[in-house]
């Protein structure tokens, strides 16, 4: 495991998803990076488990930072963003939320969504 995943620089994306713990942590991640894909998930969620390898590939192969939020551990944070079902994917560009999708997206669609903001 690289140290970049555990102590990422504020300059750019990491190659692995960051696990977010609380609203302040998410705000820091979003404000420090250009494009952030936030995956609101639950360990018990089947579609979330299907989406996990896709999210990991996006983290490794795109210029976006991927943040994962466990809705069971962060219920207030999920409520603050209007998450009513999992998985819910949010995209932030330049600190602003620009996209929100509920349900697992295919990798090609998710990749093109990210590329809209990273190119």
Decide the pairing of beta strands 18-19 and 35-41: unpaired
Catalytic residue (one of 29, 36, 45, 58): 45
- The answer to whether 45 is a known catalytic residue is yes
Q: How many CA atoms lie within 13 A of 19 on its CB side?
A: 9
Beta strands in 22-87 (DSSP E): 35-41, 65-70
Catalytic annotation present for 59: no
The catalytic residue among 30, 48, 64, 78 is: 48
Active site residues per annotation: 45, 48
């Amino acid at each position: 495991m690289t140290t970049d995943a555990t102590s990422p620089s504020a300059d750019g994306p990491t190659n692995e998803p960051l696990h977010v713990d609380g609203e302040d942590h998410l705000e820091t991640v979003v404000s420090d990076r250009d494009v952030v894909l936030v995956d609101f998930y639950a360990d018990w969620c089947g579609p979330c488990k299907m989406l996990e390898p896709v999210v990991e590939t996006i983290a490794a192969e795109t210029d976006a930072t991927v943040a994962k939020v466990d809705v069971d551990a962060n219920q207030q944070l999920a409520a603050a963003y209007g998450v009513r079902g999992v998985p819910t994917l949010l995209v932030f560009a330049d600190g602003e939320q620009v996209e929100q999708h509920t349900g697992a997206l295919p990798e090609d669609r998710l990749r093109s969504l990210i590329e809209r903001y990273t190119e």
